[in-house]
Amino acid sequence: MTELNSREKHLDTEFRSDLRFFAFFVANGSLFGGLWDRFGFDYIPSLSAKNNVFGQLFAVFVNVWQPCPITERATRAAQLVPKYRAEQYLMNHIDPAYEVVPEFDWWELEIDRSEFPWKRCVKEFSVALGNGILEPELLSDIDYVPGLFSCGSTLEAVYAVFANVLMVDVHGNPTNVDRAYYRAAQCVREWCVPGYEVTPRWQGWEIELH
């Protein structure tokens, strides 16, 4: 575990776990529980088009997410389940005839603002990642976005690193955004460019899957 000063802390472990699992399901094409496969839908092209759909999908997830004990998760109302609401956004984007019930509140779709600074940071990261503009000095020479969907573990690892490295102060304000972006970008390059060596080498807590 990284050494923190008394005014810093990691993001909530529950959030980091939920975020990386969501990223895994997104990247391996297993959202919707296979329902769309039966009808021939493939949502990956929509997410890899670099048109903010990827960022918006993760924004809905992050906006809706709130702490929830494991014992209460099975009984949550559907509109309180971040993965489900994100799926509804994507279904409606691809098929405008799909009816979102209940309709989205404005705050669920907010992509560039949030009352929680750390949530805004995660959304901004998702927009940059999905639009192919994350850390240009490190990634501008590769079209990495298609590689994010090569397998679920790729995107899962990127989000795990970003969420593990990001620190916040007692008010939820991120304190090391540049570091979190850079380490996540190194993870992207490591997955997409054979032979790339990460420097400094990963510490166990940075790549831990909670």
Q: Render pLDDT for 159-193 as a digit per residue (tens, 0 to 9).
A: 999 999 999 999 999 999 999 999 999 999 999 99
Place of tokens 């190194």: 186
CA–CA dist 51, 16 (Å, integer): 25
CA–CA dist 209, 39 (Å, integer): 33
Predicted local confidence at residue 36, as pLDDT: 57
pLDDT at 41 over 80: no
Q: Render pLDDT for 74-97 as a digit per residue (tens, 0 to 9).
A: 999 988 999 999 999 999 999 899
Q: Determine, yes or no, domain membership for 4.
A: no
In the chain, the percentage of residues whose pLDDT exceeds 90 is 85
Q: Determine, yes or no, domain membership for 1.
A: no
Q: For the chain, how many structural domains are there in total?
A: 1
Domain extent at residue 190: 9-207
Place of tokens 């901004």: 124
Of the pLDDT bands very low, low, confident and very high (cuts 50, 70, 90), residue 1 is very low
Q: Determine, yes or no, domain membership for 85.
A: yes
Task: Work out whether the CA dihedral 120, 125, 127, 130 comes out positive or negative.
Answer: negative
Average the pLDDT over 31-43 and give the result: 67
Predicted local confidence at residue 40, as pLDDT: 58
For the chain, helix, strand, coil in percent to 5 are 55, 0, 40
- Give yes or no for a contact between 34 and 41, defined as CB atoms under 8 angstroms apart: no
